């Protein structure tokens, strides 16, 4: 574990237990821990300066025999500002220019205005690029569906132009009764005797006269069967929504 002699890397006492527990579950101990603690002045500086931030992280990124990993606990939040430790940096020796992280700049440009280009992975909790798959566990964000406004409505058969004649209403009612005569409910029972009349009212907003019951029922046309089916679906949907 790095010491804090040359660089201001501190191990927070409250985190030490967690770090040791983490180490205990690692079969191969050779790794470094860096904990960037936010209260230290150098970390505040590191948050502002990409150069200093990378210098601090670089301490942990140095290769060493048998060293396999480095764990960086970034309490300074510098990674949000300066990018990932493995991002390429374009350094400069010119005094009037600053080092830049082009990868992180494009991340920031792609993120919504003022939004953090990183977010935490809902599966493993590690940092991932907003909208990107998680490098650590492979979790993929679901593509957001386009917001489509859905309005419940009824399918209406486009009939002949002009008002519906009484003859058409009578025919429709006779077809409804023809369907009624042989249709059965789910429990096998016949429908209510006034069901055809109620369906007529549903379509034409008026009850059929009693006298129409004297007409013989008719075999329903395909259009009438479709209408009945459609109203049944709409009714089932309304019941489901209630
Ligand atoms: Zn993850």
- pLDDT in the model for residue 51: 85
Instruction: Give yes or no for a contact between 69 and 1, defined as CB atoms under 8 angstroms apart.
Output: no
119 alpha carbon – ligand 1 mean position (Å): 10
Write out pLDDT tens, residues 62-112: 888 877 777 777 777 788 888 888 889 999 888 888 889 999 898 888 888
- pLDDT in the model for residue 212: 93
8 alpha carbon – ligand 1 mean position (Å): 29
Asked whether the whole model's pTM tops 0.75, one would answer: no
> What does each of the 242 residues of the chain score in pLDDT, given as a tens digit?
444 333 333 444 445 555 555 555 554 444 566 777 665 666 666 667 888 888 888 878 888 887 777 777 777 778 888 888 888 999 988 888 888 999 989 888 888 888 888 888 888 888 888 888 888 888 888 776 666 667 777 666 665 567 788 999 999 999 999 998 888 888 888 888 889 999 999 999 899 999 999 999 999 999 999 999 888 888 888 887 76
Write out pLDDT tens, residues 155-168: 666 655 677 889 99
15 alpha carbon – ligand 1 mean position (Å): 21
- Give the residue among 28, 34, 47 at the shortest CA–CA distance from 3: 34
- pLDDT in the model for residue 2: 41
Radius of gyration, CA atoms only, the chain: 36
Query: Domain coordinates of the chain in residue numbers?
Result: 13-110, 166-241
- pLDDT in the model for residue 10: 40
87 alpha carbon – ligand 1 mean position (Å): 18
39 alpha carbon – ligand 1 mean position (Å): 28
Cα–Cα distance for residue pair 29/105, rounded to 1 Å = 35
Give the C-alpha distances (Å, rounded to integers) separating 140 from 79, 121, 129, 131, 134.
21, 9, 11, 8, 7
Helix count and strand count (H, E) for the chain: 8, 4
């Amino acid at each position: 574990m790095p010491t804090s002699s040359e660089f201001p890397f501190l191990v927070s006492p409250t985190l030490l237990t967690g770090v040791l527990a983490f180490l205990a579950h690692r079969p191969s101990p050779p790794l470094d821990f860096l904990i960037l603690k936010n209260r230290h002045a150098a970390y505040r500086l590191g948050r502002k300066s990409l150069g200093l931030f990378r210098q601090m992280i670089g301490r942990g990124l140095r290769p060493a025999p048998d060293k396999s990993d480095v764990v960086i606990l970034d309490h300074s939040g510098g990674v949000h500002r300066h990018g990932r430790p493995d991002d390429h940096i374009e350094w400069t020796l010119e005094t009037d220019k600053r080092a830049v992280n082009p990868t992180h700049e494009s991340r920031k440009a792609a993120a919504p205005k003022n939004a953090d280009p990183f977010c935490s992975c809902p599966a493993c909790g590690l940092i991932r690029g907003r909208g990107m798959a998680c490098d650590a566990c492979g979790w993929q964000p679901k593509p957001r569906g386009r917001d489509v406004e859905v309005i419940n409505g009824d399918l209406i058969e486009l009939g002949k132009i002009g008002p519906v004649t009484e003859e058409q209403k009578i025919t429709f009612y006779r077809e409804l009764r023809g369907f009624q005569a042989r249709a059965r409910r789910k429990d096998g029972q016949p429908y209510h005797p006034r069901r055809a009349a109620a369906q007529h009212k549903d379509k034409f907003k008026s009850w059929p006269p009693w006298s129409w019951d004297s007409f013989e029922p008719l075999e329903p046309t395909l259009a009438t069967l479709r209408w009945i089916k459609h109203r049944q679906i709409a009714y089932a949907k309304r019941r489901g929504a209630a």
